Amino acid sequence: MSLFGRRRDSAAPAVSDDSARVRLLDAAVSVLGRDPGAPLGAVARRAQVDDETARRLFPTRHALVEATVVRGATRIAGASFLDDGEPLEQIAMLIGRVWQDQAPVLPLTRMAARGPYRRSVERALAPLRATLREAVALAAEQGSVRRDISPAAVSWLVEQAAIDVVEAAEAKALAGADPLQLAMTHALCAAGLGWAQATDVAIAARTRLAGGDPQRR
């Protein structure tokens, strides 16, 4: 012992693998949400995890990105529900809630939707997609969406329309359009609505989203 008391260890405290994994995934959302091409090392630095540990937990950048987007998809799917109200508004609000959740990290969202991780992400999103199909099926029963194809096919078109807006927004191609409202209206148009009716439904849904309506169907 020195004259000034016990010597402090200057090394950083050890971090468990579980804690390091969570920190890396959290950091990946932040880093890749701004720069989808960022290297693994940049994520490790943001997470304050040493490179050796980062590469042991995620041997490749691909593994880290896949784990990140699948974790996000699983979280979104687990929180999905249908609000009360008419099926068209339910569809719009479901799309709107997902958009609000993903707006801060659109580059990462686009990678999840269109990149090499798409199949893994789609599996994780299964509960959300089932919820969307439920609302579309109800709308089809009412005759408020197109019925020339199955509800499952309509749901797929709705999903792809929402992804189209993600790509356009991430590419800065919307020329001042409101991306939240466009995500809802474009999705509803894919379901067979005209743009004017889709806009009316989207405005009503947006009003409810802004008010934080907690009610569920």
Between residues 11 and 19, the one the model is more confident about: 19
Instruction: Quote the mean pLDDT of the chain.
Output: 90
Is pLDDT above 60 for 5? Answer: no
Cβ atoms < 10 Å from Cβ of 59: 11
Q: Place 211 in a pLDDT band, splitting at 50, 70 and 90.
A: confident
| Alpha carbons 8 and 190: distance in angstroms, whole number | 64
Cβ-contact 66, 43 below 8 angstroms: no
| Alpha carbons 86 and 71: distance in angstroms, whole number | 31
Is pLDDT above 50 for 9? Answer: no
Q: How many Å is the Cα radius of gyration of the chain?
A: 21
Q: What is the mean pLDDT of residues 18-46?
A: 95
Of 15-19, 85-89, 90-94, 124-128, give the lowest mean pLDDT range. Answer: 15-19
pLDDT at residue 213 in the model: 56
Cα separations (Å) of 95 from 14, 58, 79, 179? 42, 32, 13, 12
Element (H, E) at 188: helix 179-190
Is pLDDT above 90 for 14? Answer: no
Between residues 31 and 3, the one the model is more confident about: 31
Q: What are the sequence ranges of the domains in the chain?
A: 17-59, 81-211
Tens digit of each residue's pLDDT (9 = 90 or more) over 195-210:
999 999 999 999 999 9
pLDDT at residue 12 in the model: 45
pTM, entire model: 0.86
Of 27-31, 57-61, 175-179, give the lowest mean pLDDT range. Answer: 175-179
Q: What is the mean pLDDT of residues 43-64?
A: 96
Cα separations (Å) of 76 from 48, 73, 100? 26, 5, 11
Q: What is the mean pLDDT of residues 113-134?
A: 94
